Amino acid sequence: MSAHPPWLRFQAYVVGLPKTGSTSLATLFGRYRSGHEWQLMELLGPALRRRKGELSDEEFLRATGQRLIPASLEMDSTTAHYLYAEVLRDQFPQAVFLHTVRDVQSWASSLLDMVLRKRLARRMIQIPYSIWGSEYLAVMTEGTYNLDPDQRGDDHSSLTPLMRYWAAHLREMADLLPADRSLRIRTRDIQDRLPEIAALVGVPVSTLRADLAHANQAPLRFDRFMAFDSDELRAVYDQHCADLMAEIFPEEHAAWVNRSNAPGILDWETYLADLEAWVKDAVQRHGPQIAR
């Protein structure tokens, strides 16, 4: 493997989807030059344009300025990196990649929980949506998500697009990440796999902040797959996700097939009322950052 730049002790990139443990990995490497979502918005615009075929790889790198080249971080945990992972792979033959993954049910619900919290906060704080909300979310949900802060209807229409996006992402990462320079990690297994993570990166496992392995826990959870179960949902699951789930998340797959998912809050209005109360308190305590 080629040597990393002399100003870095190692060079690692997180290439998972949003809500798959990027915060945890950044904080795990807190004793190193680690960053979480550094210049995410500046990366998303060029990344999405490249995905649409509007920018070549060279034009994409120029558009990102000096964010990607030269490399500045040792653990670069930014949830846009998977959008151009092959560019990073080819530009940096010395770099390693951590692909964090969650089962499709918890991932889609967690992502929609986060977006809903931000949407509700915008009832109290009038700030514009970033490119994350205005363009990136539309890509992941095929334009189905309603960003209107006063909209009270549920978000079940975004589930099937997110399932397709999740499956396409996992297949793409499996094809393009070099096996000798990458590690796929289930988010819930991050702490158990610290020795493997440290070995891939090339640092002593004792230097990792194991006490911070599960940062950024969600305040409330709503199991949309149980609440909005339908023949359409199961058909999309069977077509796009079933094989991946059976391979990577066999327990969750069996629970879904046998309709034995652990029940949580299943009534949308109850969940919405609880979440509105949480968001109101969070806005009062933390201000505009809750809505960003």
Question: Residue 14 is which amino acid?
Answer: V
Are residues 280 and 149 both part of a single domain? yes
Among residues 228, 257, 209, the alpha carbon closest in space to that of 108 is found at 228
User: Are residues 98 and 111 located together in one domain of the fold?
Assistant: no
Is the residue at 2 inside a domain?
no
Res 234: pLDDT: 95
191 and 94 together in one domain:
yes
Residue 249 inside a domain? The answer is yes
Residue 4 lies in a domain: no
- 108 & 157 share domain: yes
Q: How many domains does the chain have?
A: 2
279 & 153 share domain: yes
What's the DSSP call for residue 136?
A: I
* Beta carbons of 113 and 222 less than 8 angstroms apart: yes
Same domain? 28 vs 98: yes
And the tokens for 36? 């979480």
Residue 48 sits in which domain range?
A: 12-102+177-212
Structure confidence at residue 2 (pLDDT): 62
Residue ranges in the chain whose pLDDT is less than 50: none
If asked whether residues 117 and 79 sit together in one domain, one would say no
Say if CB 19 and CB 110 are below 8 A apart: yes
Query: Dihedral sign, CA of 218, 107, 16, 213?
Result: positive
Q: Are residues 28 and 152 in the same domain?
A: no
pLDDT of residue 158: 97
Integer Cα distance of 88 and 23 in angstroms: 20
Does residue 170 lie within any of the structural domains? no
pLDDT at 246: 98
Let me know if residue 3 belongs to a domain.
no
Same domain, 33 and 70: yes
What's the pLDDT at 164?
98
Task: Determine the pLDDT at residue 277.
Answer: 92
Report yes or no on 171 lying in a domain. Answer: no
Q: Are residues 263 and 120 in the same domain?
A: yes
What is the reported pLDDT for 128?
85
Q: Are residues 31 and 135 in the same domain?
A: no
What are the phi and psi torsion angles at 206 (to 5°)? Answer: -65, -15
Sign of CA dihedral 30, 36, 38, 43: positive
Please tell me whether residues 21 and 97 are part of one structural domain.
yes
Q: What is the pLDDT of residue 106?
A: 94
Considering Cα of 34, then 37, then 43, then 49, what sign does the dihedral take? positive
The token duo for 102 is: 């969650």
- pTM listed for this prediction: 0.94
Task: Give the per-residue pLDDT at 260.
Answer: 64
User: What DSSP line would sit under 73-130, residue for residue?
Assistant: -SEEE-TTGGGGHHHHHHH-TT-EEEEEE--HHHHHHHHHHHHHHHHHHTTTS-----
Question: In this structure, is residue 117 part of a structural domain?
Answer: yes
